Structure 1
């Protein structure tokens, strides 16, 4: 890894990156930034969380001419959440560039508000393909001055049916533009776009073994389809899970898990493609602020979500392939933290699981779901371990006096401790 100070970039950008807490580049940044600064087209295969936003933000910002208030760069993202995340990151990298204007445009927000900002003038537009097309057709967005186009998470955009919109937008930009394409996978459709709309692109690939993957502890538990939900609840109890993102493969599965969690009084919400943007925003805000502890989602609904401090990911259904699995579990262990990914594997899931386990190269450890007696022992051990920690770090003198005062020849301190343990365990 090289230092950002070693890159041929402005002091304003170097200072902003330093203020963000970064001094060394990630592999994608080290490979992409020098090439992009030379105006090369790039096709980069890199996972979410690899640092790719800074990899394209830096060269874009270096080219911005502040005096020109028309769009000079456009970044296409699959979801509203990712748009906001990318726009926020660009604003941080460009924090010391005076009068820089960046705007996120996406569906679900009144178009009038976005139109007013566009009319005032912006340098960088970050948008979902559908809303960008909408602004172009309404005459709000003119791409004649675009020098840089970024396709972020291109494979996700194609999976969501945005291919025609992407092509339309690319055709509306000048031929002499720089095109930077970032994708976690490289299916044939992505390669076609690269061939048709990029000029001799340099291909970059960052290996799947992302820095944070080793910090994710992955366990898989065999289950039976009819016992799967009960085993999900067991996982909550085994690992003392207070909050989690739970993945299902279908909307029907999401609704089933969500409804049954609610029946058992868990603070849960569902997230899937049938919901309006307003509903999605409301659900995500509740999850981020802690009012909802368990979010049950499909892969499509969860795309672009950036959730911090998430310790557990649970795969209620096994992902369809390894790339989807990596996308899912990559939402824990962010920013150098550790995390857990737990997967329930029924007979119906086993074919997909076998493929994913093979590609994970031993990172997924198969464990047996504990029986009722073992589960009870796990819970009691957790309570006792918490008590032992408290003995070491808390001042318990007042409580010791109370226990001694209430003990006698008929009631020993051990019996009081046992009764308290029973009361705690049953509540």
Structure 2
């Protein structure tokens, strides 16, 4: 389906066109028409499936600009996802004059958020804790809410927000529309849906082949003592330009970042204990290409959407199958090819096998290259660049003449080339 075929305003169509979208994704095609008719939705879809646009279009279409009180609220598990969703909503509504959208989350001065709320906003995007904070302070009145979106509901459940979500839903009008999106639908989410939704339309999008067709997945068995060394070999062999490395704990993140930095890699880290100001700075550095490697925990990387990401490395095997899908979904965006590498030590094999079984995915095993193989591969990469240069006829006669003049009985052209290669590698 084309966005132009949807029964939505021309302003929204123009904005979506400027965003570079013409056709809907499966979750958008199946949910937007139903949402526009007022139905409650349970949408099950993975990261990267286009679900933000799936709820952004219908809630913005319903906004009455003259009313400056909140008409829609989107709940997200993390600050990063809040910012990403608010940004996407702003893009969809960019052609609608005076549309006001506000992201509210912890780690940012509450006074600034309060002042904007007092002036009037149409859509609030927030983490459950900060939304409740504003409700209790009298800054946020939900009496005019027509649409509630629960984004990444399973993750909010995992983070212990279930009571907060119920509190917020109880403070919204009974006749509101409720749109629920989640990668998985566990029993607790089903209970929420049954309690707070009215005859919801359930939409389930297959998670594998369509959403992750260009991700090449490998796993590498390794000794836990040499796991870090093994990972650096992979970074070197695959000539990684932009990598996201996942660890299960803050301690693991700090260890990997510290030792990569010692090795001269351009690296930074992201974990939940950082202030929002620091996290924003790190994410901007990564997005802008000022650092080539980001080491993060699952929660800290939630909502982090980066183009041109070469590889995802699972330094630790994820704690559950859903986290594996969320992690690898960060690469191969916009039709690009991406790699997902998982390092598996002996005590992680059982957990890794469970991930393969639940996700019904084949992950090929590869061996960690030896030191000699890494060096050989690096040599070949330089020589490949040289051959490309020659094929593009970018080697001037001046250089050819210089080589010819330095070839003699003791030093032939092969030996001269080998000497140049050594000089380049060891400089």
Contact 1:184 1:323 in 2 (8 A): yes
Is this contact kept in 2: 1:82–1:306, CA < 8 A?
Answer: no
Name the SS for the 2:269 alignment partner.
strand
Residues 49, 211 of structure 2: 8 Å contact kept: no
Runs of 4+ residues over 6 Å off in structure 1: none
Aligned-partner SS, 1:300:
coil
Q: 1:71 matched to which residue of 2?
A: 70
Change (3 A) 1:214 1:359: farther
Q: Does 2:405 align with 1:411?
A: no
Q: Report the more deviating stretch, 69-78 or 313-322.
A: 313-322
TM alignment of 1:286-297, pairs within 5 A:
286-297=285-296
What is the 5 A alignment of 1:202-281?
202-209=201-208, 211-281=210-280
2:381 equivalent in structure 1 = 382
Cross-structure match for 1:396: 395
Compute the displacement of 1:272 (Å): 1.7
Q: Distance in 2 between matches of 1:414 and 1:189?
A: 68
Secondary structure (helix, strand or coil) at the match of 2:141 reads coil
| CA distance, structure 1, for counterparts of residue 338 and residue 263 of structure 2 | 26
Ranges in structure 1 where 5+ consecutive residues have no aligned partner:
none
Paired residues for 1:8-407 under 5 Å: 8-209=7-208, 211-397=210-396, 398-407=398-407
Aligned pairs, how many?
Answer: 426
CA contact (8 A) 2:46 2:211 kept: no
Shift of the 361–384 alpha-carbon distance from structure 1 to 2, 3 Å rule, reads farther
User: 2:143 is paired with a residue of what secondary structure?
Assistant: coil
Q: What's the offset of the Cα at 1:118?
A: 1.2
Match of 1:422 in 2: 422
SS at match of 1:214: coil
- The CA distance in 2 between the partners of 1:309 and 1:394, in whole Å, is 29
Superposed displacement of residue 361, structure 1: 4.1
Q: Compared with structure 1, are the counterparts of its residues 368 and 360 closer, same or farther at alpha carbon in structure 2 (3 Å cutoff)? A: farther
Distance 1:111 1:99 in 2: 23
How far does residue 404 in structure 1 lie from its aligned partner after superposition?
2.3
C-alpha contact 1:81 1:306 (8 A) present in aligned 2: no
**Once the 2 structures are TM-superposed, how far is the Cα of residue 235 of structure 1 from its aligned partner?**
0.5
Task: Return the offset for 1:364.
Answer: 1.3
Equivalent position SS for 1:401:
helix
Shift of 1:189: 1.2
- TM-score scaled to structure 2, two decimals? 0.96
**Structure 2 residue matching 1:213: 3-state secondary structure:** coil
**Structure 1 residues 354-363 or 72-81, which shifts more?**
354-363
Q: CA deviation at 1:193?
A: 0.9
Deviation of 1:253 after TM superposition, in Å, equals 1.6
Unaligned runs of 5+ in 2: none
Contact residue 136 and residue 142 of structure 1 kept, 8 A: yes
What SS does structure 1 have at the residue aligned with 2:268?
strand
Deviations 1:12-51 (A, max 9, x none): 2122212211111111011111111111111111111111
Deviation, structure 1 residue 362: 4.8
Q: How many Å separate the matches in 2 of 1:179 and 1:129?
A: 16
The answer to whether the Cα contact below 8 Å between 1:87 and 1:104 also exists between their aligned partners in 2 is: yes
TM-score normalised by length of structure 1:
0.96
**TM-superposed deviation, 1:375:** 2.4
The RMSD of aligned alpha carbons is 1.6
Q: How much has 1:286 moved relative to structure 2?
A: 2.4
1:7 alignment partner in structure 2:
6
Aligned counterparts of 2:187 and 2:263: Cα–Cα separation in 1: 45
Asked if structure 1 preserves the Cα contact closer than 8 Å seen for 2:241 and 2:310, the reply is no
User: 1:406 deviation in Å?
Assistant: 3.0
Asked if the contact 2:102/2:121 (under 8 Å) is kept, the reply is yes
